[in-house]
């Protein structure tokens, strides 16, 4: 089940919810069903961010086997 971010259009609270089959959950603060699915932004992990910065993470294309030199 994916986690989606929502904003309540009634009380303006923001929350995350595990959802099944595209159902839209009610707001946990006020119980309203008028919620808007928000765009989620991916945050890279520590290992992924090092690879994005060009840091060496070891392994074959990290330069330790000579292929990156």
Q: Is residue 56 part of a domain?
A: no
Report field, pTM of the whole predicted structure over 0.85: no
- Domain count of the chain? 1
Closest CA to 9 of 42, 43, 32: 32
CATH of the domain at 23: 2.20.28
What residues make up the domain containing 13?
A: 1-42
pLDDT tens per residue across span 30-66: 999 999 998 776 666 655 555 555 555 555 555 556 6
22, two tokens = 């595209």
pLDDT of residue 41: 67
As a whole number of angstroms, the distance between CA 38 and CA 12 comes to: 12
Q: Is residue 54 part of a domain?
A: no
pLDDT tens per residue across span 8-27: 999 999 999 988 887 889 99
How many other CB atoms sit within 10 Å of the CB of residue 24?
13
């Amino acid at each position: 089940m994916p986690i989606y971010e929502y904003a309540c259009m009634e009380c303006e609270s923001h929350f995350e919810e595990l959802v099944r089959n595209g159902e839209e959950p009610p707001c946990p603060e006020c119980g309203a069903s008028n919620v808007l699915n928000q765009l989620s932004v991916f945050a890279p992990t520590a290992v992924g961010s090092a690879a994005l910065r060009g840091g060496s993470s070891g392994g074959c294309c990290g330069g330790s086997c000579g292929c990156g030199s």
